[in-house]
Structure 1
Amino acid sequence: LLQEHWELLANHTCLQGPALQRLIEGIIQAYKSGITLQGNTTSLGRWDYSGSFFFSISAITTIGYGNLSPSTAVGRIFCIMFALFGIPLNLVLLNEIGQLMLLGVQHCARRLEETFHWQNKASFLMKTCALVTGLLLFLLLPPLLFSDKEGWSYEEGFYYSFITLSTIGFGDYVIGMNPDRTYPSWYKNVISLWILFGMAWLALVIKFCIHLLE
Structure 2
Amino acid sequence: EPKTNGHFPSPRLSVSPRATVVAAMEAPSQGLQTVMKWKTVVAIFIVVVVYLVAGGLVFRALEQPFESRRKNTIALEKADFLREHICVTQLELETLIQHAVEADNAGVSPIGNSSNNSSHWDLGSAFFFAGTVITTIGFGNVAPSTVGGKVFCILYAIFGIPLFGFLLAGIGDQLGTIFGKSIARVEKVFRKKQVSQTKIRVISTILFILAGCIVFVTIPAVIFKHIEGWTALESIYFVVVTLTTIGFGDFVAGGNTDIHYREWYKPLVWFWILVGLAYFAAVLSMIGDWLRVLSKKTKEEVGEIKAHAAEWKANVTAEFRETRRRLSVEIHDKLQRAATIR
Which TM-score applies when normalising by structure 1? 0.88
Paired residues for 1:173-188 under 5 Å:
173-188=251-266
How do residues 82-161 of structure 1 correspond to structure 2 at under 5 angstroms? 82-109=156-183, 120=197, 127-161=205-239
Equivalent position SS for 2:276? helix
Q: For residues 158 and 111 of structure 1, do their structure 2 counterparts lie closer, same or farther at Cα, with a shift above 3 Å needed? A: closer
Q: Corresponding residue for 2:101?
A: 28
Give the secondary structure class of the aligned counterpart of 2:246. coil
2:271 is equivalent to residue 193 of structure 1: yes
**Closer, same or farther in 2 for the Cα pair 1:93/1:202, shift >3 Å?**
same
Q: Quote how far apart the aligned CAs of 1:28 are.
A: 2.1
| Structure 1, unaligned runs of 5 or more | none
SS in 2 for 1:7: helix
Structure-2 separation of matches of 1:154 and 1:192: 21
Q: Is the contact between residue 35 and residue 44 of structure 1 (CA under 8 Å) also seen in structure 2?
A: no
Question: Which residue identity does 1:23 align to in structure 2?
Answer: L
**Shift, 1:117, TM fit:** 7.2
Q: Is the 8 A contact 2:171 2:278 kept in 1?
A: yes
Q: Does the 8 Å CA contact 2:169/2:278 hold for their aligned counterparts?
A: yes
CA deviation profile, 1:41-79 (whole Å, cap 9, x unmatched): 702521001101111111111111111000010100000
> The residue matched to 1:171 in structure 2 has which SS?
coil
| Identity among equivalent pairs (%) | 36
Change (3 A) 1:112 1:213: closer
Moved more, 35-44 or 193-202: 35-44
CA RMSD of aligned residues (A): 2.4
Distance 1:112 1:178 in 2: 43
Aligned residue identity for 2:229: G
Residue 212, structure 1, aligned to residue 285, structure 2: no
Q: Which residue of 2 aligns with 1:169?
A: 247
1:50 aligns with one of 124, 131, 138 = 124
Maintained 8 Å contact 2:243/2:280 = yes
- Once the two structures are TM-superposed, the CA of residue 2 in structure 1 deviates from its matched residue by 3.6
**Does 1:8 pair with 2:81?**
yes
Q: Which amino acid aligns with 1:66?
A: G
Structure 1 residues 111 and 57: alpha-carbon distance in aligned structure 2, compared to 1, 3 A threshold:
same
Cα distance in 1 for residues equivalent to 2:284 and 2:257 = 36
Retained in 1: the 8 A contact 2:125–2:266?
Answer: yes
Compared CA separation, residues 106 and 112, structure 1 to 2 (3 A): same
User: TM (normalized to structure 2)?
Assistant: 0.57
Contact 2:187 2:204 in 1 (8 A): no
Give the drift of 1:110: 5.2
The structural deviation recorded for 1:25 is 2.4
Query: Which one has the largest radius of gyration?
Result: 2
1:126, distance to aligned residue in structure 2 (A): 5.2
Runs (5+) with no aligned partner, structure 2: 1-73, 293-342
